């Protein structure tokens, strides 16, 4: 298994893609993540960029000497007019993942409240509330947990409201086991798969 495949497996990339297939970026977001994000890619991905277009790849820099990570200088030089990715089917893992973001825990994944990310956070929170309401825990405790999730939705809605002006965003952390169950829930809803570009393998 090559390095990229190993990373994808470790971060549940396929599951994330199966969630992202139900979401599409609003045009008015104007590819904000490709223009203003902090985008770190692997050396192997840098090499792919160099093969595709050596000139454009010059805007991708090594983080520091001998570092395996490279940083895309934004706006990304591979972004095409009309805010389309020019290397969509060969895009780096970090791009295919966003608004999900890798963390260092090894057992969860971050999710940022950009316009699409917020919709996923809200759906996740509603699903969690539905699960809690079906459990046999005392009503008082149930109400407390549901209120916490309502507050979570509200706080990420606030975070979203200033999204386009912020350099850093608060992100929710989703444990991988909950991510897997949430993906199953999403697929059970029989929603239209509006994002045809996800990498389902």
Give contact residues for ligand SF4 (rule: CB under 6 A). 25, 29, 31-34, 39, 72, 76, 78-79, 85, 87, 91-92, 95, 98-99, 114-117
- Quote the least distance from Cβ 137 to ligand SF4, whole Å: 35
How far is Cα 97 from Cα 6, in angstroms, rounded to an integer? 15
User: Each residue of 96-134: b (16+ CB within 10 Å) or e?
Assistant: bbbbbbbeeeeebbbbbbbbbbbbbbbbbbebbbeebee
When the beta carbons of 14 and 75 are compared against ligand SF4, the nearer one is: 75
Task: List the structure tokens of 169.
Answer: 């965003």
Tell the smallest beta-carbon distance from residue 50 to ligand SF4 (Å): 13
**Inter-axis angle of helices 115-134 and 139-161, nearest 10:** 180
Running DSSP on this structure, what letter comes out for residue 73? P
Least separation in angstroms between residue 37's CB and ligand SF4 is 7
- Least Cα distance to 172 among 123, 110, 96, 122 occurs for 110
Q: Residue 51 Cβ, how far from ligand SF4 at the closest point, in Å?
A: 14
Do residues 200 and 17 make contact, with C-beta atoms less than 8 angstroms apart? yes
Least Å distance, CB 42 to ligand SF4, is: 13
As measured in angstroms, the least distance from the Cβ of 69 to ligand SF4 is 15
Longest CA–CA separation in the chain, Å:
63
Cβ closest to ligand SF4, residue 95 vs residue 179: 95
Distance between CA 24 and CA 198 in Å, rounded?
Answer: 10
d(CA 45, CA 51): 10
SS3 state at 172? strand
Q: Report the residue number, 72 or 129, with the smaller CB distance to ligand SF4.
A: 72
Nearer to ligand SF4, 84 or 144 (CB): 84
Which of 11, 129 has the CB closer to ligand SF4?
Answer: 11
Q: Which is nearer to ligand SF4, 129 or 171 (CB)?
A: 171
């Amino acid at each position: 298994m090559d390095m990229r495949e190993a990373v994808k497996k470790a971060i549940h990339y396929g599951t994330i893609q199966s969630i992202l297939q139900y979401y599409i970026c609003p045009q008015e977001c104007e590819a904000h993540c490709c223009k203003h994000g902090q985008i770190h890619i692997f050396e192997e991905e840098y090499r792919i960029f160099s093969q595709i277009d050596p000139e454009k790849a010059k805007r991708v820099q090594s983080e520091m000497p001998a570092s395996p990570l490279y940083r895309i200088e934004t706006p990304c030089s591979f972004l095409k007019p009309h805010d389309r990715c020019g290397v969509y089917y060969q895009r780096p893992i970090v791009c295919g993942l966003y608004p999900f973001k890798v963390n260092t825990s090894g057992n969860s994944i971050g999710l940022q409240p950009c316009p699409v990310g917020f919709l996923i956070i809200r759906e996740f929170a509603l699903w969690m509330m539905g699960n809690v309401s079906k459990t046999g825990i005392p009503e008082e405790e149930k109400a407390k947990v549901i209120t916490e999730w309502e507050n979570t939705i509200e706080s990420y809605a606030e975070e979203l409201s200033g999204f386009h002006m912020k350099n850093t965003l608060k992100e929710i952390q989703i444990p991988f086991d909950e991510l897997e169950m949430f993906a199953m829930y999403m697929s059970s809803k029989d929603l239209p798969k509006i994002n045809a570009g996800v990498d389902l393998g």
